[in-house]
Chain A
Amino acid sequence: MDPTFLLRLSYKNLSKHRLRTLLTLGAIAIGIAAIVFLVGFAYGLQGMVTETVTGGDAFKLIDVGTENSQIIKLDDTSLNQIREIASVQDVKTIINAGAKETSDGHDIDSAFYGASNDYIQWAGIKVRWGENFSEDGAREAIVNSAFISQLSLEPEQALGRDLNFDVVIPREIARDNKYLTKKDQKFTIVGVIRDKNSPQVYIKQNDLMELGVDKYSQAKVQLANQDKVNEVRKQIENLGFKTQYVGDTVAQISQLFAIFKVVLASFGLIALVVATLGMFNTLTISLLERTKEVALLKILGMRNKNIRILFMAESVIISAFGGTLGIVLGVIISRIANAIINRVAINSGGDPVSLFVFPFWFIILIIAFSLAIGLGTGLYPAKRATKIDALSVLRYE
């Protein structure tokens, strides 16, 4: 039998009860839209968190430190040993010190780092206002917004401003292994980072080393090939250093967000289950209304297989259209929500974000899921239709 005729018949049956069909389809669409919206939000959030953690070329970078060891030192000799490891492309370092800003009677405690532009870039830190360190300029500082808020300045106002620091150098990194304080160190702000957590100041590494530092607090090791991460980590750890890799954190984040996605999808699923029950009810009522028609089709020679296809097709048509509409609806609502959130964020000085992400395979999965719902829900009415006894229907009539 021509399958297009079965489809036509299914479509005609559905369009005969247009309002009922549209309501059922709408309910499925709302359920699917809820799942798309919530899971899209989880993906968006995961993307944002992962990007914050990884930034830049993070998957090719290994963080190396000494964990305040008194024996193992991260100095030029050990850095050269690390550079000699195969697959290591480059090594950049950072020095952690402390400082107190004292200009104009201020008394601002801050973390005080000596780092290069490359290190700052590798760490995914972005200068939002002003510039990175210049090639030849001396005594330049990049500060974060938490620091300038202590100065009661706007970022634009802070650029070019001179600062006066009392720099505290811990003995672990000091040239003479002695605790040092260097007073009245003058630096000029050239850039501001958006970060409101705690006051931080970056200066060029050479400027800090000139104050009596000859060891590094941490290093970032860049690999030529991401596949060699485990191998290189092992070799670095064999030198006595501790290593950290962003991939470990990302794996933990993924694990956490996998649970988060399931939880959010479950909320959407509740709406979908209600909609599916509604659809089941609609199909069953439709079958009961058409008992005579099914009996007629049997008398006219229709095989059970085709009767089953007829009812399954109705169910799949509802779920396919409902699913597609749900995806479109979910994406549109999330776009609107994202636009509203971004407007609020921009108005309060933040950056626009992509709070909703819909991976292609997720959309495909949702379409497949919608079809599966259609097939599953249509199964019982379709089976029941094949059991209708034509004779009983005729006799009853």
Chain B
Amino acid sequence: MGKTVVIKAENVDKSFKQGGGFVKVLRGIDLEVHSGDYAVIFGPSGCGKSTLLNLVLGIDKPTSGGIKIRGSEMAQMPEDERREFRASKIGMVHQMPYWIKSLDVRHNTALPLIIKGEKQVKALRKADQLIHDLGIGKLGKKIPTELSGGEQQKAGIARALICDPWIILADEPTGNLDSVAGEEIMRLFKHLNSDQGRTVLLVTHNEKHWNAGNRRIEMEDGKIIKDTRHKDIK
């Protein structure tokens, strides 16, 4: 039985205004990500990896073509609806996690669920469980910026998971970490995919992580030039 298509990008182009003209960053991207995929996108700087991720996240719109998340095209949704869809269906892990600096780790983690309309008590209970599972349970009452880079990234992953999203997007999640913390975070993504069956789309230019998932997508000059599934795909 075929797996569900979570992300479907069809002939996606993206151009940015620069000076008097336009710079084409993405050119005719076709991509399907299935449930259970752990796809690692890599390529040189400026090849369009992060732009593609922003389009999938729905904070930017393609110049042409379309991206659907389980059949829904976020670019066509009104702004507030798009935000709600994104918050509940996509978990995002940034290179350098953003925080609400006046809230502690558990409130920051629970934030997407509270914004979604969940009762605070329930959301916080779930946040406590998640940060405990990720090994930072004792840090829940700390302000996130007091945490180390690796701990912050774990809290960021907990926040990405709080709404049980269809897919987790990660943009250079180890880019700001030392190698030990970076390895720990990559192990965590592996665990989320192989043990919990979560779909992950991870962007990196760290060569060591190109084979971290079960699929590697190589980009160059705004195009996907190679899309390989590993032999050990489940």
Contacts and interface: CB of A to CB of B under 8 A. Distances in A.
A9 B103 contact: yes
A4 interface: yes
A394 B54 contact: yes
Nearest to B97: A296
Interface string B116-140: 1101100000000000000000000
Interface stretch (B35-43, B107-115, B147-155, B187-195): B107-115
Interface in B89-119: 92, 94, 96, 98-103, 111-112, 114-117, 119
Interface in A124-153: none
A13 B116 CA distance: 21
Contacts of A306: 115
A299 B103 contact: no
B57 interface: yes
Contact of B59 (A9, A15, A394): A394
B98 A5 contact: no
B79 interface: yes
Contacts of B100: 9, 293, 296-297
Interface string A291-334: 01101111111111110000000000000000000000000000
Interface residues of A, number: 27
Contacts of A293: 98-101
B120 to A, nearest CB: 6
Contact of B84 (A12, A303, A394): A303
B87 A300 contact: yes
A1 B80 contact: no
Interface in A1-42: 1-2, 4-5, 9, 12-13, 15-16
B16 to A, nearest CB: 9
A397 interface: yes
Interface of A: 1-2, 4-5, 9, 12-13, 15-16, 292-293, 295-306, 390-391, 394, 397
Given A297-B100, A301-B87, 4 more contacts: A5-B120, A299-B98, A300-B112, A302-B83
CB-CB nearest 8 A-B residue pairs: A301-B87, A12-B102, A296-B98, A16-B102, A303-B80, A300-B112, A301-B83, A391-B59
